[in-house]
A and B are shown apart, each in its own frame.
Chain A
Amino acid sequence: MTLTADQIANTTATEFDVKLRYFAAAAYYNTLTLAHYEFGSAPVGWTISGDSITPAGSWVEVTDRIYARGSLTYEWVGSALHWSTELQGENYDEDYFAVDRAVMCLRRIVRGAYDSGWVVWWIGCIAAGEWRDDYRLGAQWQRSVRGTDVTLRLIDAPRLTAGRINIAEDASATASTTLATPSVEAANGEFVGTTANVGASNVVDQRLNTVWISQSPPSSTTASIAYNAQVPKLDEVFFKPVAGFDPDRAWWVEIVNASTNDTVVSIWDMLFVTYTALGAHVATRFPAAGELEPGERLVICGNRATFEAMTGGARGAKIVLAADETPYSYVVSSWTETSPGSGFYTANLGTTWTRQTLNATGGYAMLAPRFWSSWGDKDGVKWGTDRAFPSGVVAADIWSGATVDISTIVDGESIRRTLSGGGVGGSNQDSETAADWQIETYPTPGDKYSVTRFDWLLITLPEHVSTLGTNITPASTTIEIDEGTLGWPEAGDGVIEGDTFSYTGRTATELTGVTGLASSHTAGATLNPYVGSVAQTGWSITSVRLRRRPGTAYILRYEVWISENDSPTTPDGEDPSNVLWRADYDEPHYTGANLNGFTGLGGGPDLTVYLAPDTGARWARCILINILEMYPETGAVTGARAKLNEVEINLDEMTLPDQGVTSLPGVTAGLLAEYLIDQHTWLQLSDFVDVALTWGEIGTVATAIQPLPTVLEDLARMHGCIVGWGVDGQITWLPDPWWPGGITKHPDCADGPIYRWEPSTVRGEITFQTAQTEVSGVAVTAMDGEGNPLERVTAPPGVTGSGVREFTGLTVANQDTAKLLAFKLELKEKNQDRCTLTVKGIGEWCWPTQVYYVEWPDGTERGTWIAERVTWSWAFGAAKQWSCTLDLRRMYVG
């Protein structure tokens, strides 16, 4: 951490102004998406101009109900950082200030030319307080507001009994298997595709547990476009694919018969002409007897496989021709051409059609009769840099306007007929001007999504392979697995070459307590978990959750089916009532209807839904996700396409029972804390700030039900970490500066003290207390997790006498941990120096656990100090008052 120039200036400022504004969510704290609000930034989606603030969502300003005085304390207690603030006010309203409601404070700092703007200072939960009705002053109230720990206190989690956590035990383990991440994800962040199987071969970046399946948030599009002219029209042109797709193959053009009566139009012998990246005009001649019914759409694409991977295919399309590697076409709805044989794509002007790129700088696409200038209507569009139509075309007949401006088009967008301006349903959208066209953010080739159909995604997990590492005999009690034991239950049954056995435990690489082997087996043999009399080739998963980024449309109904089959039948994509495929999947499946209060994915930003949080692990090889209904839908033809942005499948790799002893080889304290938050709270993983996730590995833990903050504090204490219930609602995992060795790892002091306190930067009185210490050392008499007494250890080693403070009854992992604990306690107990100082400026960057260097004028008192408490207090009356007070404790190192 380094102070910014503004922070340093604020530290020494003699004149400044601080303003506070309060907002109530009219919602409960535990329903908020905290990650949406970044600490120190303006709330996402809010409109802020000067002092004018227009909140988004349900937030309502309540500043005029809150008295302009208060305080906020950020305190280091034990191994946790807590914060709390006291608010008082009038005009009490249950909708805003009831217990567990959310409240947010925005702060604006002005100092000379510096203006921080309105940024989030804290988001908190109203914890407790009182209100009373006063006939003179109305309903006066006072409330305590606290951070995440208040709401998490109501959540039970498996308690990690301290004595069972071993800091240095079982050092290695693999994380989890890698699921699929298709190639596009590397460049674009997402993979497009709705019905493709996603396999391990798609992995490119080793992201764990994540499958990306969609391109972008969808947009809802309106009904079919109508034109006056009852001729085939170009409707949408895609020529600028996202990175990861071959531009030669990824282009496509959509043609529609948009007639408003029953006219069937012939496209027989018509030419589709376009301008390629090579500067050549190329053309495709439609086959004999080719016709488009009203509303029918024809999609011509550069390469079918690429097109399908990119868009998921044109919905309901019928593939007309699949003769070779040359382009493929889709006809949506139906296609009257029944003999798409030779000659379908034969007409060429200049060069071959195959693997040509539509020119993204500028080009055109055009429909024209084969005999260019003599008869019939034509249609065309130009974009970007103006290109001349091929000779022989009477441009005036088909195009008299300017080219479509694509200067703002980005990768992944198309151009399409505008749905406004020209009007829909009969208004002229073929004015032969560039105004007919617009840039489409979310290209949707072919038919529009309909609720009478549904999309599905089948995720195929890689096979769970386990190979015997060393030869075993019927007398063997351990079985070594080359790939590691991830995916194997903590205890259970297995099968190897038809020989079933039982085991009672596992390490990272071995099954232990093996019994029941009937014969010998040699290394290299395949073995599987044996569950339900079936050799399981899949994985034990605990939850599937779906994420969808905010957009105009969201998923209203969905289903998740789990199958142990590696190639289950998939739905036909057209008829959700068709139940034949369901036999291949386990019951029960999980649907949106099972989720109370769930109003659809994407209703909020990055909404996370647990589908199977409480049902334990399931064996799965394939996961099928059906999207049954999208919102908004406006009838038979709707605009919203079924897409997900992310599917996360969590393996049963760290399941903690409510009670009992669990081995977690290779798992660190940070990972375990993250797991607890992920599995047991309403917080999102992004609300967990993983400062030191690699700290302190865990061996075996014993579990019992406790409130979650207690559990996390236990975990933090035993690993030399501090769990921070941040003022922004997030949970932070910090190294403890008191922990031996922690000082060098503390992010705030990696480069030494971050601020050097001079007398001129301190305001008012400095109180300095030092008590004569009577402690010459500490002694720790602890026991291990089994209750076995450990040897008494002292710090400094060998210290004796009446000044030794005894600590007994502690439970630690082993003798080494006891020594570390003694050393840590000595640092604290021998230290009696404290001082309090008030920061001269605003102190907006002060936090507990920061290390400070304080220097007195005479040089007699100096050294490093740790902030244990930071208090900001304010009273905005006629004369504003503000102070930031630090309670420091001298730090002795070594």
Chain B
Amino acid sequence: MADFQYKSGSWADVPAYAHPDDEGSINVVYPEPTERDGLGAPCGAIGLPHIEILATQMRGDGWAWWQAFFADANALTAAISLTAYDPRTAAWVKYAGTLLRPLGNARPGGSATNTLYTDVTIVVEQITVTT
């Protein structure tokens, strides 16, 4: 079993074509401090951690795999459980959260599969650790 998994009944590997490419990432992103306190130490990190999946390139079938989580074309969010790499603990952690619509630039090809998506950003918000 690979590290990058999602839960559909049981935990299963995310298909390779839906992975970010080598230049991408699967990270838990923590809110950044917005200010310094009176002693100069960072503070003011507003918000909660979220998962950010970045892919400089993704094939059409990978894109479609992520879209399949949504109930219909108008849904803006979908429930999802998947693993992500937590840089603070340097470990893969299982999370449940809310998947937002992936963002990316489409370069239409001859077929849906051949459509290439670039600069793809996939965000999962409101994450909680799950099993």
Determine the chain A residues whose CB is within 8 A of the CB of B44 once the complex forms. Answer: 14, 763-764, 840, 882-883
The 8 A CB mask of A656-681 against B (1 = contact, 0 = none) is 00000000000000000000000000
Please state if A760 and B35 are interface contacts (CB–CB under 8 Å).
no
The 8 A CB mask of B1-45 against A (1 = contact, 0 = none) is 000000000000000000000000000001111111111011111
> Is A574 engaged at the interface, CB distance under 8 Å to the other chain?
no
> Is A34 engaged at the interface, CB distance under 8 Å to the other chain?
no
CA distance A21 to B10 in the complex (A): 35
Residue of B with least CB distance to A13: B43
Please state if A879 and B37 are interface contacts (CB–CB under 8 Å).
no
Determine the chain A residues whose CB is within 8 A of the CB of B71 once the complex forms. Answer: none
Cβ-neighbour of B46 out of A762, A838, A882 (below 8 A) = A882
Cβ-neighbour of B39 out of A15, A760, A883 (below 8 A) = A760
Determine the chain B residues whose CB is within 8 A of the CB of A35 once the complex forms. Answer: none
Determine the chain A residues whose CB is within 8 A of the CB of B47 once the complex forms. Answer: 17, 879-880
- The total of interchain contacts (Cβ-Cβ below 8 angstroms) comes to 58
Once A879-B31, A880-B31 are accepted as A-B contacts, the answer to whether A17 and B46 lie under 8 Å apart by CB is yes
Please state if B39 and A759 are interface contacts (CB–CB under 8 Å).
yes
Please state if A763 and B46 are interface contacts (CB–CB under 8 Å).
no
> Is B64 engaged at the interface, CB distance under 8 Å to the other chain?
no
Determine the chain B residues whose CB is within 8 A of the CB of A91 once the complex forms. Answer: none
> Is A774 engaged at the interface, CB distance under 8 Å to the other chain?
no
> Is A18 engaged at the interface, CB distance under 8 Å to the other chain?
yes
**B interface size (C-beta, 8 A):** 18
Residue of B with least CB distance to A111: B48
CA distance A110 to B33 in the complex (A): 16
CA distance A177 to B99 in the complex (A): 67
Minimum CB–CB distance for A152 against chain B, Å: 35
CA distance A16 to B48 in the complex (A): 7
Please state if B34 and A762 are interface contacts (CB–CB under 8 Å).
no
Residue of A with least CB distance to B33: A14
CA distance A15 to B36 in the complex (A): 13
CA distance A766 to B33 in the complex (A): 18
> Is A575 engaged at the interface, CB distance under 8 Å to the other chain?
no
Once A14-B33, A14-B43 are accepted as A-B contacts, the answer to whether A763 and B48 lie under 8 Å apart by CB is no
Residue of A with least CB distance to B45: A15
The 8 A CB mask of B87-112 against A (1 = contact, 0 = none) is 00000000000000000000000000
Determine the chain B residues whose CB is within 8 A of the CB of A883 once the complex forms. Answer: 44
> Is A761 engaged at the interface, CB distance under 8 Å to the other chain?
yes
The 8 A CB mask of A805-842 against B (1 = contact, 0 = none) is 00000000000000000000000000000000010100
Please state if B43 and A763 are interface contacts (CB–CB under 8 Å).
yes
CA distance A722 to B47 in the complex (A): 36
Cβ-neighbour of A840 out of B31, B32, B37 (below 8 A) = B37
Determine the chain A residues whose CB is within 8 A of the CB of B34 once the complex forms. Answer: 879, 881
CA distance A233 to B46 in the complex (A): 68
Minimum CB–CB distance for A237 against chain B, Å: 52
Residue of A with least CB distance to B38: A759
Please state if B46 and A766 are interface contacts (CB–CB under 8 Å).
no
Please state if A763 and B37 are interface contacts (CB–CB under 8 Å).
yes
A-B pairs with the 4 shortest C-beta distances?
Answer: A759-B38, A762-B38, A880-B46, A880-B47
Further 17 A-B residue pairs, CB within 8 A, beyond A840-B43, A879-B31, A881-B34 = A14-B43, A15-B30, A15-B31, A15-B45, A759-B39, A760-B39, A761-B37, A761-B38, A764-B36, A764-B37, A766-B38, A840-B38, A840-B44, A879-B47, A880-B31, A880-B47, A883-B44
A-B contacts, 14 of them at CB < 8 A, read: A14-B44, A16-B46, A17-B48, A110-B48, A760-B41, A761-B37, A763-B35, A764-B37, A840-B37, A840-B44, A879-B31, A880-B31, A880-B47, A883-B44
